Structure 1
């Protein structure tokens, strides 16, 4: 009787587990199909107008003998130098410029990490896209169909809260609750915490391109828009996070300097 009872028990378990296993396989198949339909943006991407930046931190436009200054505004366009600031916005801009000379930074923050010389990686899955750089900064864009959280469930952070979706091969992102960017990185625009950021990122040939739109009732008379692009830097075969190693950035009271090695 025992072998018969054991066989019956095994068959019963198999019958009960069958629907669960089938459902799991269906979910895996659906996710595999979702993956197959997503773009793939491999490589290490740097802002096109800053490609070739050396250890000096200066883009080639600033170091070439006869620089093409027509591209100057494109080097770090997300600084929003061309924004139509209202009275409060201009007050903030003037304040940031007055205190920002020669100041150490902890990183780029958002939005400037999207417009810097440091390489970016785009890790795309059906549920989210993660954007990371060599400063260990990361953005998480949730693409699983969720809505932006209720404002009572958010608070200002350096990178904000981002949700997105795909329109064909274009990643559409909405970001809210970004702490005033210039509080974190002195080269960033002084948008308020009420600002909303919209991005549309897609491939264009061998380049990644993005359209940015910032709406901020506190600092802007009208939305600020900007277009940026990235190119693959073939000099990278891995992400090497060394930006905080041997940091000897100093300040002479006005400008950044390089501190000498410590002497024991």
Structure 2
């Protein structure tokens, strides 16, 4: 390379690098301002009706009157009361028959939003990430983009989520969720055509609320709406990532138990 060519290349490189450097303070200031407009939901959140759950799978609120069995409805996202049509009821019965002998692959969506596993909400101007202790994550894009075209999506465990803020309420639309009960036996058997709309907001200093409406022409006779909530779990000061490879949860008489370690 000649000295002249090298000089021209160096000058071009400096020119290209100069613009981002000059724009950085302005861009940073805009982002700081954008952050200031967003809610802040720090800490670890657990489903309100699942707080204090032990290995038995029974939360204190569910056993308050009996001490050993479910005395109040819990985990409303299971959709026990959904307006199932004939196909939905067929799927529901099929899942319930096989649930006791199945291992979990994870919580999946929508059940990760109403489980006993703590959640974190990481909020930025461009997206909100919801992650649980099993390293399951949802990415809700809030940068103004539209939902991708249908032929540019395919069903996945957590679907595709686009969101926006209405004041302090995060509104999320999620589509293309793989049949939830195929992933986790406790999930509702909605089809891949289901559309989920969530509204999440802070209700007091230590409580988040959720309103969800699901429409599914395959399994429901009409839209189904449900409410849930989370409370701060003070028992955690850091996120401990787990996995499902050592799942020793058994099932006996409808309750979870701990299976013995395999004998080698």
Could you say which TM-score interval applies, normalised by the shorter chain?
A: 0.7 to 0.9
Deviation, structure 1 residue 180: 0.6
Q: Does 1:238 align with 2:261?
A: no
Give a deviation string over 1:102-123, Cα, whole Å, max 9, x none: 3111111000000000100000
Q: Secondary structure at the match of 2:200?
A: strand
Q: Contact 1:103–1:256 at 8 Å: present in 2 too?
A: no
Q: Which residue is equivalent to 1:54?
A: 54
Q: Secondary structure at the match of 1:129?
A: strand
Q: Which residue is equivalent to 2:208?
A: 208
Deviation, structure 1 residue 17: 6.6
Give a deviation string over 1:6-62, Cα, whole Å, max 9, x none: xxxx99998987654332222111111101111110010001111111222211134
Q: Contact 2:103–2:247 at 8 Å: present in 1 too?
A: no
Q: Does 1:164 align with 2:163?
A: yes
Give the direction of change, closer, same or farther, for the CA distance of 1:81–1:192 in structure 2 (3 Å limit): same
1:20 and 1:167 map into 2 onto residues whose CA distance is 32
Q: Which residue is equivalent to 2:228?
A: 228
Deviates more, 1:40-49 or 1:14-23: 14-23
Deviates more, 1:25-34 or 1:169-178: 25-34
In the alignment, structure 1 segments of 5+ residues that lack a partner are 1-9
Q: Contact 1:102–1:253 at 8 Å: present in 2 too?
A: no
CA RMSD of aligned residues (A): 2.7
1:251 and 1:202 map into 2 onto residues whose CA distance is 36
2:60 and 2:156 map into 1 onto residues whose CA distance is 32
Deviation, structure 1 residue 257: 5.0
Q: Secondary structure at the match of 1:187?
A: coil
- 1:14-163 superposed matches below 5 A: 20-66=20-66, 72-73=72-73, 75-163=74-162
Q: Secondary structure at the match of 1:110?
A: coil
Q: Contact 1:31–1:126 at 8 Å: present in 2 too?
A: yes
1:12 and 1:150 map into 2 onto residues whose CA distance is 39
2:98 and 2:210 map into 1 onto residues whose CA distance is 31
Q: Contact 1:248–1:258 at 8 Å: present in 2 too?
A: yes
1:110 and 1:36 map into 2 onto residues whose CA distance is 30
Q: Which residue is equivalent to 2:258?
A: 258
Give a deviation string over 1:172-217, Cα, whole Å, max 9, x none: 0000000010111111111110000000000010210010000111
Give the direction of change, closer, same or farther, for the CA distance of 1:62–1:254 in structure 2 (3 Å limit): closer
Q: Contact 2:108–2:136 at 8 Å: present in 1 too?
A: yes
Larger-Rg structure: 1
Q: Contact 1:102–1:255 at 8 Å: present in 2 too?
A: no
Q: Contact 1:53–1:117 at 8 Å: present in 2 too?
A: yes
Give the direction of change, closer, same or farther, for the CA distance of 1:104–1:15 in structure 2 (3 Å limit): closer
TM, length-normalised to structure 1: 0.87
Deviation, structure 1 residue 260: 2.0
TM, length-normalised to structure 2: 0.87
Deviates more, 1:199-208 or 1:82-91: 82-91
2:256 and 2:86 map into 1 onto residues whose CA distance is 30
Q: Which residue is equivalent to 1:5?
A: none
